[in-house]
Each structure stands twice: as structure tokens, then as C-alpha cells.
Chain A
Amino acid sequence: MERMAASSEIREKLRNKRRALQDTLVKNKNEDDIQALVPSARFNVDQQPTAMKEAEGSDEDPGETLRRTFRAQRQRRKKKLLEQSFVQECHDAEDAEEVPNARRHSANEGSADRADDSVVSTRPPTGSQRALSVRSEDSSSSQHLDTYVTRHLQEKLRAARSKGESLQQQEASEVSAEPVSRLQRLKNRDTVTRFDREAEPISAGRQDDPLALRSRVKFREAGRRVVKDLPTAEEAFNFFTFNYEPEPPSQQEGVSRKRQKRRERVKKDKGEDSQEEAEVEEDAEAEEDNQDQNEYQSEDAPLVRNEDDLFAIDHSPQDFVEMRKAEYVAYRKRVQRDRELLFTPSFRTVPTSVKLPENMKPRFLEDEGLYVGERPPVSLTNENILENRILKMAEGNKWFGDDGKVIALPDPIKESSTRPPLFHMEGDLDPALQTVYRKALKSKYANLYIAGAADPEGDYQLDVDVSGLIFSHHPLFSREHVLASRLAQLYDQHLSRQHNNLTGHLTDKLNGLRNALQNMMKIHGEQGSSEALRQRISEYSLEVRNTRQLRDTEQEKDRTLLRSVIKVWKEIKALREFQKFTNTPFKLYLRRENVDRASDERDYEGEILAEVLELEAESEGEYQKKLAEYKKQLEDWKLWRRKQKAKRKKKKKKKKGLAQEDTEEEDQDQDESESEGPFEEGPAKPQPPERPDVDSMEQWVREKASRIRRKPGEAILIPELSASGSITASELCPRAEIARREDVSRRSLFIKILYNDKEVSRTDSRSLSADFRVHFGQIFNLKIINCPHSINLQVFEEVGSSCSLLAQVFVPVPDPSVVTGSAPIEEFEFSSNQRVMFDHEGVGSDVPLSFESDGSNRLTLLTSGKLSCCVSWGIGEEGVPLAPPVSQQPGGTHSGRWHLDAVSYIGASGLYDMKKIGEWATQSRLDPNDPKNTSIMQLLKVASSGEVTAPDYFRLEHLQEEFNFVTDEELERSRRFRLLRLRNQEAPEFRNYKFVPLLEREVSDKVFQDYEKRLKDGEIIDTREHLDPHRALVAKYLQKIRESVINRFILAKHFYQLSDLVTEEEIPSIGILGINLFKLAESKRPLKPQRKERKKVTAQNLSDGDIKLLINVIRAHNIPIRKPLGNKPGQSSQSALQGSDWYLSQVQVRPFVEVSFQRTVLQTTTADGPNPSWNEELQLPFSAPNGDYSTSSLQSVKDEVFINIFDEVLYETGPGGKERGTSIHTQIEKHWLGSVKIPFSTVYSQSKIDGAFKVNTPAVLLGYSREHGGSSSVYDQWRSTHGGTFLRLFLTIEPQLVPGESVREKIKEAEFDSQEDERLLQAAEKFEKEAAQGFPDRPCITTVTDLSGKTVFITRYVRPLNPPQEFLDAFPNNPQEATTLVARFVSLIPSLPDQVSFSGTCDLWSTCDQFLTLLAGDEEEHAVLLCNYFLFLGKRAWLVIGTAIPEGTTVYVLTHEQSGYFIWNPSSGQFYNKDDSFCPLQTVGCLVNADNVWYNVQENPSPLNTNFDITKSNMWKPFFSRSFSHPGLSSVQPEELVYRPIDRAAAAELQDRVEKILKEKIMEWRPRHPTRWNRYCNTTLKQFLPKLEQSRGQDVAEGHRLELQNLLGDYRIAGFPLHLPFSEIRPIIEAVHSTGVHNIHSANVEFALAVYVHPYPNNVLSVWVYLASLVRT
């Protein structure tokens, strides 16, 4: 009941509110209260759909018309209203809350509180509201509307009143007769009052909800009941007058009942009431129709829920409260909320004023003459949307340019597509139609489109008018035709000459000149000569002479032409008579023109006279000139003569001679000079000029005149050629002629028109007429897109069905000004050199032909003729020429490429020519404002500004200079810049240079010292370092190769692949997927755990100390044992006799292993005996050079792991003096026994090394022997074959580093070139891939990289090569010896792993001559050389590619001899039997010889189990097989090796130097102790060394030691010879240092050192160092 109380309370409040509201409403009508106006306006909008529904529902309603008018208006205003409501959105939230409540209240209390204002009730409520709303929204405009509405409503009301008195009664009793409409009104009113209703608790409203709901429900039920039985009037009255106050539910009941009654009544009286009914109906509809868009929906929402709650009536109120769902956000509201967040840009055009800053007018740059590119096309809608969007943004205006448009760059897209369309061929093609790949060929014209040709306006038309052709010679010409055509030609020539009338011209000119000259002479004669006048006279006379000569030649030509015309005509006539028929219609008439003989003769004579006179004058002048010259020469000569005379004083003729010559005549002079001897040339004596000259001259002139001129009085002959003659009919002709004529009639011709080498059309074929003329008269209109380059007309001749090309005529592309109509038809000559012969009268072509009876004077005629045609540009409809603009004509490329245009127009060389560029620029009408052209314009400006200092190059970036803040020189000088640049170039010294100083002055020159030194070293070879000039050279060369290779690698390093950057799972195969799935199921901790690969660490995030080298020293075999003699000096005399007793009692050896790496030295504990077992793990830290842990840096680490075996020797030294007996002093000495060297690079690349290493023991160990007394015979046997010490080791790097990817792969990626056949390379790749798939652990190499980085097939390296002749001569009878000698020679060439020299796992194979020159190489070079030697020696030898310990993948040599297969280690010279279990070779991958590569496909790859019979294809897979035969690859090796002879002197010198250096070093290593050298021992040792070399370190140990022992009886000796191949001094020092001999610190130690260098051919040196320590006992 609390609820009830609450509701009543609320009701009470509401009532109060309503009263207040009514007041407000009244005000509303007076249009004063804005507060109220806005919401009501909104409500009006909301009601719109209602109205619509009503309109549909009750058409007959008179009020409906009114509504319709409203509706129309409302719709019109809807937008504005929406906006208004949007403004009010803050109120809406409240609204949404309150509206339902309000409505519920009204529903609840509708009947009870009908405190209605009469004014309100007298009008239909909705109508009033609408009127109100209309007014509110736009009062001024809807004033009349409002009145109209009011009137209508009042009318209606009146009608309604008259109908229903009961209604009025109700009104009077303050009970609303229209509950529903009241409801509506109240609703509205509630909304209106919401501003002054803050006090109302929302919770109360909520509590009311169920009530309200229930009331509704009941109302409905009641409504349903009404349908069944209608209540009486009395009931209705009771209903209406009943007081419902105390009990709301019953009241509700009452209300509903009342409503029912009312309804019933309403049905009776339509008119006013049906309106309300419609309202009710609408409400119901709204309930059903949740999609309703207006805000009533939120009111209706609870109604919808009512339906559900119908069944929950019995529940407690709490349930209802709880059942209330989360607020449903109405669509409309959501839209509104979205509106806050979302923005939908309108697509209307934005007015320009908005886009520009205030008071700005748009500026159009283009109109101002600035260059504006073409904007990319954007649809107007999109542009509008974009603009609207931008405007919405803050500072949106900055996106707009001055013209009010969005700023945009010019369109970068080409107008026309340059990509040809792509057609996909579907289905299988006929094999004959299969496409064949041809290398792409750039078409000359493909891209040279005329700009604008793509668009329809810009179509260009080229008209080709082919009018016809005339043959000047044709194979089918008869002889007469030949003559006739010649006649015609001559006649044409004559006519043209006549037309030009050059002769007359020249004659006139000559006369004029003569007159002028005469005038001048006259003046000259009268006034005396002035210099200028004389000059002019001479010029004129020269001119006269030239003109006369010209005239003479022209006259002569005229004359000859006339003669030949007449001659040919005569010939024709003769021919016609002879053959008795006529073929040509030509007739020549000679018209005579008689002249007046007398005047003619006078002219003629006068002409001759004038000419003679002139000639005389000329010759006179000539003579004068010559005379002057002569005199001058004479003077000279005399001068000279005098000198001569003076010289020849002995000849006494001097004076007389002189006198004579001074006076004598020229003749004598001449004689004199002649007599004077051959050394003087006499000046020519001038001819006597006048008389003979005049005669001969006149004669010559007359002759000439008669030759070239008409005789005086002779009639002038004018030839006239006419084609009026008749041709003899065919019947009258001989058969041959008939045949010819028939042939002619069979022929027809047509012309193909080729435009840019493409046939575009052809003429009809026209038959050849008898006069060998063809008329086509066709005009072809070519629409062109490509710009014209060539127009070619091809003349074809058709005989029957076959046609042949006669000739081609190239027609120039016309100027754009040449347009159809105005262009004249031009004749183009053509000819063909085809040889044609006929058996009929036709003369043929290219056939000698003679018109003389004796066959002389042959002439050969070629088919030729003239084609008359005309090419011009078409004219469009309005007389516009359809020619492309001038600018595009020459280049014709796309307008965007001006540079190219220029180049194609004036040619590349023309770019240097300013004038040409300027010409082109003006012609092509460059837009000076287009930024693309700035460079050219700039250039032109410079050129035209008068400074002709324009550079002799073409600037492409003319603005560059402006950005240079310092000059290039200054930049070069800057040390800091240099440093930065060098670092960027990755110069080795600066690659990891940190902290380039900020200031120039802080960069010291010292920084560059190393670098500059290295650069300088490029030229200067430091011999001191290398002890041997040759090796220095080699080292230099090696360095150079290294640099070039490194450069390649740096290139390759910057060539990234996806896998370098992104780690990604491989695509799993089904199997792997399965395994992975299976893994999910497997137990977490299996009983038998599988070994897991260590995690590999990428080298990037490592630092010093992170990496450790782990060495597990397991055990050693067969370590040399001490000899009693050395140990027990005191017993030296008897020791030899002690034998086995001693052996048992004495310690044989106490070895330990010392590992040194990067200056860290670690050692194991000491073990006992010759076969000790240590099983210790040593950890050595590793630090990369410069702290650079990149892969490439790690690969280039040159450090080696030295593993030395020492014997720990304890000496009891006598304690000094009195302490004897109480204490024992022992001294520990360590004696070096042997060493193993493992380069770090090997460990790095293999990540772990495990195996027994052969210890490099010296040939002789003084004080030690390998004799193991009492050992078994089997052991002896083993030892005898492998007299070596073995050390079992396991090495690895912790953590495991990812070995660098083979650069070879990268090189392949980078496509370094190869000279091998592509097919071979592919096959090789396939072979290797298959091999790797089958047996991943077996190496297979088919192609290798040579020193220049090219890929070479491996078999090319194998070829028999001669070893040094000395070796062959040394043992002529013992080939076995020679073999070992050769092997030793090869092993003496120092090894230099490629990995170290060329950072990166890159095998470079050098050829044998390169190898011998470099004197350094990898295993493969050794192996190749050894193999080639063996082949030369006649052995069957192969290269074996496999894996060995410790090298990893390496190359050995396999030989086949009678005793079986032998495996040679080329680097050590050792050989092993195939069955030798201690062979370092572990797996055999493939065999290589010169012919083939065989891959091992046997089960077990170890050499022990490998069958080396390569013929068995199930064991060895050959590379070249029947399917892919050996293509005959030539060897890369030289024909023959040339060796340099042995240089003993150099060796001796080197020997001394090495010895000196070593002695110095040993003393240096013992800084605190005196180092004494035992000279006697030195010399003794020195004598031993050559013997050791001879025996190659074998079998001399014993005698040797004894000898030494005898010599140095009192000393305890420990020593050994070291043997090394010589490369540099450093390794020797290292080796000596690693033995630790210098570490003996006992006081009385002495040292002995001897060095021996044995030279071999080609500067291969074997170095022996004998080291011994002697302790005097």
C-alpha cells in the first residue's frame, strides 16, 4: 500500500503541476513562452507519423483534410525542426525519462483530474497543439496558417457541438469527455512542465510504473469486454460521476469502463470523436510497431513490455522492479548520440566564400599567367565531400588554395596507356602456333605518340595522294622505247633549260659587266688611276672572266643537248625504218627560225673580238704579274749569288762574275746560273707575250665559238616533241614484238603505302599501259596516332598472280603547313636494280644493250621511273589543318618529357649548342612557367644574357649550386667529413668508428694515419715484414683479391632477403603437422629424453664475455715417453743397459694439455703414462675483434686454438747448504711434446668438432722416444704405420652461434656472372640439390667460384700438369719416391683457409698457376695441384670431396694403384690406405676428375666402407651421363706450369734472418733471465737439419740423439726440430713460442737454436727450426 500512498502523493503533486501548466499553456497560445515552445515543436514532429496513420485510417474524417494540410507543412518544416530539437538535445535526456512517466500519470489519473481549461477543451487538442507548434517554429510565416487552422477547427468544433450535447455536459462538469485526447494533452502538458518539475523524484515515477501498466492492461481488457456487451447510458453516467480517489485500481477500472462507454458513444457520433479514436488506434499501432521513429517510442516501450508482464501480475512489486531491463536506447537517440561522434559530410557544393579567408576573392593563378598544372580528375561529389570534411576540421582552411579549391599537385598520370593490352590465350595451341620467346625489342615508334592524339578532337590526318607513275625505263621497253624515253628526257631537259634561259642570263650579265668595265676604263684614262679604281677594275675584269666562262659552258651544254636531241631522233627514225613498225607516238619537229645574217655575223665577230681583247688584257696582266715576280726572284737570286761568291773566294771569277751579272742580259744570267751548278734554281724566263698569244688566242676563241655557238647566219633550231605519231597495230608487228606487247598488257602495278614501316593501305592494281604510264589517282586519308617518321610507297608489279617489289619511294613527311589542296603533286624518282631478261623484244633491265650495229657502245639500263604523288595534312571540317602542332612534330614524344624531346629533336650533341636549344625552345613553345622546364629556361636565360660563358656541359640540376653551403674543395678538405664518409663507405679502419668528433679541430690527422698507410702500402711493398720480396708481392696481391672479394660481399650483404629480416615458420608439410599434433599428446617428461639441439644465438646482441669456447680434452694415445738418458744424467753411462727394469720403475711420461686461445692459457691436470685420459672441460673466453659480433666479423677471426701437449718433469734440485736432508726442492719443467692447431673459423663454421686429432709432433724429440717397450706386436704394427700421437678432443662454442650464411649463396643471388652454359649450371644446381636431399651430410660440389668470382664447373680444374723437373730427375727409377716428393712439395705450400682470408664461407678456387704464384691456398688448391701432378705421373687420381677432421668439408686426393686405393691429405703430404681407420677423411661425398663428377650414393660414406669403383652406377651417381653428356669443357688450368728455379742464396739469407729474429724473440720472452746460447750445440744442431730435410723427418731420430749425446755429455737436453712451410715469419715465431721452451727458468739453462731453410723450385721453402734447452748437471 505504500505504493498506493506514493502514487496518490504524486497525483497530488501532479495536480498542482497541472494547474501551473494550464497557466503556461494559456501563455503558450499567446506565443510568449519560448521554454514551452521548443519542446512542443518537437512534439509536433513526433506526432507526424501519427498524423500519417490517421490519414490512412480514417479518410472520411472531415478533420482529416485539415491534417493533410498540416502534414504537408510539417514535412516541409521537418528539417528545421530536427535542427531545433538537436539544439535541445541536452533536454532530451530528461525528456526521454519523463515522457513515459508523465503519460503514465495521465493514464492513471486521466479521469480523476480533469481540471481542464475551457479554452483548451473547446478546441480539438491535437489541432491546438499543432497550431501552436507551427506558430512556435516560425511564427511570422505561419501566422496566416495559424488563423486558418483555428478557423477550421472552430468550424469543426461548432459542428461537433451541435451533435453531441453530452459532451458539453461533461465539459461543464469538469470531466473531460475525451479521455484519450485529454490524455494526449496531459502528456504534452507534462512535457511542457518539465522545467519546473525538478522536484519530482524519478524513483516515485518508477514506482508508479506497475500501476500504470496494470491500468493499461485493465483498460484493454475492458476494451475487449466492450465489444461483447455494451453498457447502458446509466452505467456510463455512473462511470463518469464516480469518485475514484481512494482506490486507484478500481478507479482504473472505472476509467476503462468509462472509456468503453465513451467509445461506444464515439462510434455513434463520428465527426469530432473519430479523431480521438484514431488517436487511440494509433497508440495501439505504435505499440505493435516498434520501428516507429519518433520519440513516442520510448513511451511505447513499456507498453510493449506490458504484454510480458501480463502473466506476472501476481508477482511482488519487487519483481517488477527487478525485471526492469537495462535502458533501451532508442534508435533516434542513438542517432543523436552518434551525431556527436560521427559526421556525415554533405555532398553539396561548398560556397567559395566559406573556403577562403574572410573578405577574400578567389584568385585564379592561371589567369594571372602562372603555370598551373592539370589537376587529377576527381568526381564533383567526392570533391564536395572532401571539402565539407576538411572544413569541419580545425584549420581546415589551410587546405584550400587561393582559388578556393583544394590544393592539389598536377595530375601525374599519363593521358594514354603505354601498356599494350594483354590477351590470354585460352586452351591448347596448335604446336605450330606455339609462341616463341624473343628478346624484347624496343620499338622505335612505340612510345612516340602525338600528344592529344588519344582524344577525339586531336585526330590528325595525313592525305597521301598517289596520282600515278611513269617509267623511264622498264624491262619491257622495246629498243624504240628506250630511245624514245631518252628523247623525251633530253627534250624535257631542253625545255627546262630553255625555260631557265641561263645562257641569256649570263650573256646579259656579261654585257653589263663589260659596259661597266669600259666606263671605268674611260674614267681611268681621263683622270688617272687611283688605287681603289684599279682595284675595282681588276675585280670587274675577274668577274667578267668568270661570267664568260660560265656562259661558255652553258652555251656548250645547250648546243650539245640540241645535238643529242637531234641525234636520238635520228636514231629513232632509223630504228623505226629498220624494224618497220612504230612503237612510240613521239615525233620531233625542228622549227627553224631564220635570222638576219649580217647583224648576226656582226654580233658574232664583235663577241669574238671582245673576248679576244679581254683575253689579251688578261694575259697581259698575267705577264706583268709574272714579270714582277720574276724580278723579285731575280733580286733574291742575286743576293744569294753574291753570298755564294763571297764564300768562294778561291775562285777568282768573283769580281768579274759579279760585274758580268750586274750588266748582262737574262739569257746570260740564265746560263750563268745554270753553269753555277745544280744548287741554284734559275727564275723562269717569261714568254714574249704579245704576238704569238694574240694569234693563238683568236684562233682558240674562234674554235670555241664555232663549237659552242650557232654559226653566224645559221637558223635557230627549236625542237618540238609531240606524241602525235601513230603506233603500228599489233597485227603488223613481228612476233617478238607482239609477245612483248602481250607481256606489257599482262602487267599491272599497285602501290603499297607504308606508314612508319607498317602497311596502311594499297592502291588498286592498274594495268601497265603501252606507253608505260600508270594512273592511280587515289587519295588515302590516314588517321594517325603515332607521329610520322617515314612514309614509304612501294611499287609492286603484278604478273598474273605473282607480284614483286619493283622499287620503294620514300616520301618526306610534310610540313604542318602543307595541307591538302594547296600541296602540289611532286615527282619522286625511283629505280630498281633487278635483272630482267626477255626472249622477246623487251630490252630487259640490267642487261647490256647496244644500238650500234657492231654492238659497241653498250649501255645498261635499270628499271626506273617517276612516281607522282603528294603527301599532305588533311583539312578538318572548318578548314582547320589536321596536322599536329609544330612542337610535337619533331620529337613527338609525350609532352611531359621535355628533356627527351629536346634530345630527340636536336640530338644529344645538340644539347651543347645553345642556339639549337633556344631554337627548339621557341619552336616548341615551352611554357616558361611549367616547373618542368625551369632548367631549360634557366639555361637559355644564361645563354641569352650575353655572357657567353655558358658552360660546355648541359646542366641537369641547375639549382644544385644554390644548396652547396661550402665548395666541394672545402668539403674535401674537411677532416670530419672525410671521416664520416669513410665510415659510411665501410673502410675497414673506420667501419666501427665511434664518436666522430663534433668539431673539425678535434679530428686529428692521426686518425687517418693507418688508413693512409694502408693506401700507400698499396704501392710500396714492405719487405722487412715478409723477409722475402716475392712473398711480399704475393701478400699484396692476395690483399687485393681480398679487397675485391670483400667489396662483393659488402654488396651482397646489403642485398636482403625476407629470411634475413623476418623469422617465419616454414610451411609445414602434412608430416610435420602430424608430428606437431603428435607432440601435443606426448608426455612432458619422457623417460628417454631426446637430445635437443642447442638454441642458436644470433650474433647481434652479444657482447664480450658472452661467448665461450669449450674444449673437452678427453684422452691421448701414444704420447712419446721419456728416455732414461735424459732423465738420469748421472747414470748416463749405464742407463742404456738398464732396460726393462727402468721401464717399470720409472715414470714414463706425465703429460698434460695446455690450451691457449686469444692470450688465455688453460691447462689440464697432469696424467700419467703414454695413453692418458684427462676428460676435462676447459672454458676459454672469446672476444671478437673490436667487440663486433656480427657474423661477418666472426667469420674473419683469424685466431687459432693452440692445443699443446707437455710433459711435466720434476727435478729435485739440491737444496742449498744446511737445509739438505730436511727439505726437497723440486723444480717443474714442462717439455713440449706436440701441438694441435685448430683455427677458430673452423670451430665457428662447424659449431662443434669432435674427434681424434693427430698431434703435430716433431720428428725428433730429444730425450723422448716413441718406443714402448714390451708392447704387443699388433700394437707395434699399428704404430709402425701410424707413428703418430693422437689427441681426442671435443670443441664447441657456447652458446651456439648461427654460422654465417654462405656468401656463395648470396653471390648466386646477386647473379655474379658465369661463363658456363646456362643448361650446365641448371643441371649442376639440380644435381647438388638432389644430392643434398638424399644425403644431407655428404658434401657435393659441382660448381665453384674462381678468383674473379665467376662460377666454374669443377671438372675444368683437373688436368695433368707437370711437377718441377727436378723431382722427376731426382728419382728416375723410383716413381714411388717421386710421388712422395711431389706430395711433400705440395704440402710445403702454406695453407691459408679461404674463410679467413675472405670473410664469409666462400670457397674460391684458384688455378694451379695462380696457386703457385700466390703460394698460399686452401685444401682444395693443394688437392687440385696434387691431383694434377699425379695425373701427370700417370696415376689414376681423383679429387675426393668429403668431410675430414678437423677441416670439415674439404678436398682430398684419391689414387688407385696396384696395391689399392690411397687417400692423400694434400696439406700434410700424408697418405693413407683406404682401409686405414685413422684416416682423417670421414665421409666421401663425391669424386671428381677431368671428365665427370660422381656422387657417392652408398650406404656408408666412410672411406673404409666405400667402394671406389666409379663404374658401378648403383654406388656412384655420375653427373654426366648418357642423358646429359659431357659437353667437352675445356680446362681452366694452363697447358704447362713454369717453375722458377731454386734460389739458394735467397734461402740462405732468409735462414740467417729467421735465426736472428728467433733468437731476439726468445731473449725478449725472457726479460728477467739471462739467455745463454750454447754455440757449440747450435752448430751441431745446424748440421742435423739438412739431414732431416733429406729424410723428410723420418728415421734419423735415434742416431741423431746419440750423436748429440756424445757431444754434450754433461747436459740434460730437451729439444726438438720444428718443421714448417714458409709463408711469413709470424707463424714461425708463434710456433716457437707455443712450445714454451723459453719458459725454463732454471738458473743454469742454456739454449740452442738452429734454423735451416731448404729451397724448392718456385720459391717454395721448407723451414726447420731446431730448438733445445740444455741444463748443465
Chain B
Amino acid sequence: METSSNPSVFLLTVNGQIEGANFPDYDSLYCKYCYVYGHDWAPTTGLEEGITQITSKSTQSHRLIWNFPLEITFKSTNPSGWPQLVVSVYGPDVFGNDVVRGYGATHIPFTPGQHTRTIPMFVPEPTWRLQKFTGWLLGRRPEYTDPKVVAQGEGREVTRVRSQGFVTVSFHIMTKDMKKMGYDAGPSSPSAVQSEAQSYVK
């Protein structure tokens, strides 16, 4: 985009997919995603929000596969407020009510190359046992007022959460002009990336 030798912004392109999830107890889930980013960031192209299809587990595997593509490009002047991907997974409960099955967030990797992220998912816990029961009965579990709160620290201390499962997302990251701006995102040699991804998965 910026062809001049003195760019004023740098670009971050994210290609990838929400590969799937591992929710041992639930089936027929779908996933919403959105990005949270700082003041100095703006998406230039691509979808900022999305919602996947509903997927079911196969009889063979216990994984839910979405393979839902992500594609977005950000421009920014400041690495602070680096974008985060926020995913929230929903699905029907025993009574068929659509309830939340998990929230999770991860920073978009900043090293160019391929990355895989496994995002641990969690849901807020009800305040009281009784609420847990009635929530279960009426299909109205506690939810975050805004899924984006999981991407920020402020106010999180008041909530209690329970872990639910994992969502796996793979990214292909491209950056432009980062180095020109004086930000070195580190080596992008595939082996390093690979090992990092590996260790992350572990």
C-alpha cells in the first residue's frame, strides 16, 4: 500500500483459520471471533468479526473441526495494543438452548511465518450454586457482557472462570515495514517457528 520509502505505518496481515476445537463434553458448536486492538491500530481489509458454521464431532475423532478462514490486515503505528483474536464458542445445551461454551483470546503472533495457537477456553462461573442450577435449567448461563473483556486485564479480577476446552487456530503472518520502523520481530526461520509452535502446543 505504502510505496514511499518513508512509511508512516506498518502493516500486519493475518491469514489463517480457526482449525477446530477440543471440547470433550460438548458437540454441535459454533464459534464467533473478533479482534481486539489498541488505539493505534485499524483494520484495513478483511473481516473483523465472524461466525463459523456449526460443527459436530465425528464418530472417530473427538475433535470439532471448523477450518474457518481468517483474513484481515491491520495497519498500525504502535506495537502497543497488538491485536488479539477473541474467540467464543457457543452450542446447544441439553435443552437445546444456545449457551456459551467458552471464551478465549490470544495475541496474534508477531513473528512472520506460520504459527499454531491452542487457546484455552473458559466460561465465567455462576456466583451461587443455586444460580448454577437455575442457569442450567433455564439455559441462561453467565456470560461476559462483552466477549472482548477476555482480551484485557482490567476488571478480570472480579470474575471466576472454569476451563472448558481448547480451540486451535493457525496463523500465517506477514508484516510490512516493521523493520523499517525499527521493530524487529525476530527471526522468521521456519524451524524456529516450528519449534515454538510445538512447544506452545505442549
Interface contact B8-A997, CB-CB below 8 Å:
yes
Residue of B nearest to A983 (CB): B39
Interface string of B132-170 (1 = CB under 8 A from A): 001100101011111001000011111100000000000
Listed A/B pairs (17) with beta-carbon separation below 8 Å: A980-B78, A994-B42, A995-B9, A995-B42, A996-B39, A996-B40, A997-B77, A998-B77, A998-B181, A1054-B154, A1061-B144, A1063-B142, A1063-B143, A1064-B126, A1067-B130, A1068-B134, A1098-B145
Interface string of A1224-1248 (1 = CB under 8 A from B): 0000000000000000000000000
Interface contact A1067-B156, CB-CB below 8 Å:
no
CA of A995 to CA of B42, assembled, Å: 8
Interface contact A1073-B134, CB-CB below 8 Å:
yes
Chain B residues contacting A992 (CB-CB under 8 Å) are 39
Chain A residues contacting B113 (CB-CB under 8 Å) are none
**What does DSSP make chain A's interface, helix, strand, loop or mixed?**
loop
Interface contact A1063-B40, CB-CB below 8 Å:
no
Residue of A nearest to B134 (CB): A1068
Interface membership of B127, Cβ < 8 A: yes
Interface residue ranges, A against B (CB under 8 Å): 980, 983, 992-999, 1002, 1054, 1056-1058, 1060-1065, 1067-1068, 1073, 1076, 1098, 1100-1101
Chain A residues contacting B130 (CB-CB under 8 Å) are 1067
Interface membership of B124, Cβ < 8 A: yes
Interface contact A998-B78, CB-CB below 8 Å:
yes
CA of A1058 to CA of B131, assembled, Å: 14
CA of A1056 to CA of B159, assembled, Å: 10
Residue of B nearest to A1054 (CB): B154
Chain B residues contacting A1100 (CB-CB under 8 Å) are 145-146
Interface contact A1062-B154, CB-CB below 8 Å:
no
CA of A1076 to CA of B42, assembled, Å: 45
Other than the known A983-B39, A1062-B124, A1064-B135, what 6 A-B pairs have Cβ atoms closer than 8 Å? A993-B39, A1060-B158, A1061-B159, A1063-B144, A1065-B140, A1065-B142
Min Cβ gap B183→A in Å is 9
CA of A1357 to CA of B182, assembled, Å: 62
Residue of B nearest to A1068 (CB): B134
Contact of B158 among A995, A1056, A1068 (CB under 8 A): A1056
Given contacts A996-B77, A1063-B143, A1098-B146, contact A1058 B158 (CB under 8 A): yes
CA of A1593 to CA of B154, assembled, Å: 57
Tell me the chain B residues, 1-33 only, with Cβ under 8 Å from chain A: 8-10
Query: How many residues of B are counted as interface, with CB atoms below 8 angstroms from the partner's CB atoms?
Result: 33
CA of A85 to CA of B1, assembled, Å: 65
CA of A992 to CA of B38, assembled, Å: 11
Interface contact B131-A1064, CB-CB below 8 Å:
yes
Chain A residues contacting B80 (CB-CB under 8 Å) are 980
**What does DSSP make chain B's interface, helix, strand, loop or mixed?**
loop
CA of A996 to CA of B138, assembled, Å: 47
Chain A residues contacting B156 (CB-CB under 8 Å) are 1061
Candidate in A998, A999, A1058, A1064 with the most chain B CB atoms within 10 angstroms:
A998
Q: How many A-B residue pairs have CB under 8 A?
A: 85
Interface contact A1061-B134, CB-CB below 8 Å:
no
Chain B residues contacting A994 (CB-CB under 8 Å) are 39-40, 42
Residue of A nearest to B195 (CB): A395
CA of A1063 to CA of B159, assembled, Å: 11
Interface contact B142-A998, CB-CB below 8 Å:
no
Contact of B135 among A980, A1054, A1058, A1065 (CB under 8 A): A1065
Interface contact B39-A1057, CB-CB below 8 Å:
no
Chain A residues contacting B40 (CB-CB under 8 Å) are 994-996
Min Cβ gap B40→A in Å is 5
Interface contact B8-A999, CB-CB below 8 Å:
yes
CA of A1061 to CA of B146, assembled, Å: 7
CA of A993 to CA of B81, assembled, Å: 13
Q: Which 3 A-B pairs have the closest CB atoms?
A: A1056-B155, A1064-B142, A998-B77
CA of A1060 to CA of B158, assembled, Å: 9
Min Cβ gap A965→B in Å is 13
CA of A999 to CA of B40, assembled, Å: 13
Contact of A1061 among B77, B126, B145, B181 (CB under 8 A): B145
CA of A1054 to CA of B152, assembled, Å: 13
Interface contact B138-A1065, CB-CB below 8 Å:
yes
CA of A222 to CA of B129, assembled, Å: 67
Chain B residues contacting A1063 (CB-CB under 8 Å) are 142-145
CA of A1064 to CA of B146, assembled, Å: 13
Chain B residues contacting A1060 (CB-CB under 8 Å) are 145, 155, 158
Interface contact B10-A998, CB-CB below 8 Å:
yes
Residue of A nearest to B77 (CB): A998
Min Cβ gap B160→A in Å is 9
CA of A1057 to CA of B154, assembled, Å: 11
CA of A996 to CA of B76, assembled, Å: 9
Interface contact B138-A1076, CB-CB below 8 Å:
yes
Tell me the chain B residues, 75-91 only, with Cβ under 8 Å from chain A: 76-78, 80
CA of A997 to CA of B75, assembled, Å: 12
CA of A1061 to CA of B39, assembled, Å: 21
Residue of B nearest to A998 (CB): B77
CA of A922 to CA of B158, assembled, Å: 47
Candidate in B130, B145, B156, B181 with the most chain A CB atoms within 10 angstroms:
B145
Interface contact A1064-B127, CB-CB below 8 Å:
yes
Min Cβ gap A839→B in Å is 76
CA of A995 to CA of B74, assembled, Å: 12
Interface contact A995-B39, CB-CB below 8 Å:
yes
CA of A240 to CA of B90, assembled, Å: 75
Min Cβ gap B42→A in Å is 7
Min Cβ gap B47→A in Å is 15
CA of A1062 to CA of B77, assembled, Å: 33
Candidate in A983, A1054, A1067 with the most chain B CB atoms within 10 angstroms:
A1067
Min Cβ gap A317→B in Å is 31
Chain B residues contacting A998 (CB-CB under 8 Å) are 8-10, 77-78, 181
Interface contact A1062-B142, CB-CB below 8 Å:
yes
CA of A997 to CA of B138, assembled, Å: 50
Min Cβ gap A1069→B in Å is 11
Chain A residues contacting B42 (CB-CB under 8 Å) are 994-995
Residue of B nearest to A1076 (CB): B138
Interface contact A1065-B146, CB-CB below 8 Å:
no
Tell me the chain B residues, 35-81 only, with Cβ under 8 Å from chain A: 39-40, 42, 76-78, 80
Chain B residues contacting A1098 (CB-CB under 8 Å) are 145-146
Chain A residues contacting B128 (CB-CB under 8 Å) are 1067
Candidate in B39, B142, B159 with the most chain A CB atoms within 10 angstroms:
B39
CA of A983 to CA of B40, assembled, Å: 11
Residue of A nearest to B126 (CB): A1064
Chain B residues contacting A1062 (CB-CB under 8 Å) are 124, 142-145, 159
CA of A1073 to CA of B135, assembled, Å: 12
Chain B residues contacting A1064 (CB-CB under 8 Å) are 124, 126-127, 131, 135, 142-143
CA of A1062 to CA of B140, assembled, Å: 12
Chain B residues contacting A1057 (CB-CB under 8 Å) are 158
Residue of B nearest to A994 (CB): B39
Candidate in A983, A992, A1065, A1073 with the most chain B CB atoms within 10 angstroms:
A1065
CA of A1065 to CA of B136, assembled, Å: 11
Min Cβ gap A394→B in Å is 9
Candidate in B135, B138, B158 with the most chain A CB atoms within 10 angstroms:
B158
Min Cβ gap A762→B in Å is 53
Min Cβ gap B82→A in Å is 14
CA of A1068 to CA of B156, assembled, Å: 26
CA of A401 to CA of B130, assembled, Å: 49
CA of A619 to CA of B81, assembled, Å: 93
Tell me the chain B residues, 108-127 only, with Cβ under 8 Å from chain A: 124, 126-127
Chain A residues contacting B140 (CB-CB under 8 Å) are 1065
CA of A1064 to CA of B125, assembled, Å: 9
Chain B residues contacting A980 (CB-CB under 8 Å) are 78, 80
Chain B residues contacting A999 (CB-CB under 8 Å) are 8, 181
CA of A1061 to CA of B145, assembled, Å: 5
CA of A1101 to CA of B145, assembled, Å: 11
Contact of A1058 among B8, B77, B127 (CB under 8 A): B127
Chain B residues contacting A1056 (CB-CB under 8 Å) are 154-155, 157-158
